[in-house]
Structure 1
Amino acid sequence: MTKKLRDYFPMLQTREAILKEINNNEKMWSTFYSWEEERQEEFLDFCTGARGVKVMYDFVSKEVLNPESTPERIDELLSLLLKQEVHVMEVLPNDGTRLADESSLVIMDIVV
């Protein structure tokens, strides 16, 4: 018997249950149906466990590794990468420029 993700994470709901909750809440309904159909499907797939979140998207990395809100995360990542314990002391201002207009590379200057 093949196990499903819901067997490991019972909090995952069915697609129907999620849509029912969305349709019963005016604010969620308004937000969900303002999205393109592709985004709606992606959201439902994530909520049901059919697909995972693409953690390499810039916005995910920025939130998860934000040194201003969760300095311990970036401390641990840098410590593991550098093979020595470090701590973020200061995040330097960013001028908002990118290396190239089409690039998604974002640089953060920090003092550790």
Structure 2
Amino acid sequence: MSDLANIIKTLQDRFEGKVPTDLDAIFQFDVDGKVLNLTVKDGDYSLKEGANPDAGVTFITDMGTLQEMINGETDGMTAFMSGKLRTEGDMSLAMKLGQLLGG
């Protein structure tokens, strides 16, 4: 299984039964040049490979940092402050994903 496939599986496990019904957003991840998007709407989610032009925020990082964030070994703010994570787009939306991963 590829690293990206492992990320998708881990995200699916983390989100199962925990997606808020009032969140309607598209998050995008650019990980070592590979793009993955997460659409959250009406208490459900979908993960797909590839770019989504409607993404509200894009997280740009490397595979190791993303894995650490998803596994709870580091948080987005720490990764951002250390220069391992960049964001483009809506920062308040970025924080909502952080809350979802932390929950």
TM over 0.5: no
More strand by share: 2
Please say which structure displays the higher CA radius of gyration: 1
More helix by share: 1
Structure with more relative contact order (C-alpha pairs < 8 Å, separation 6 or more)? 2
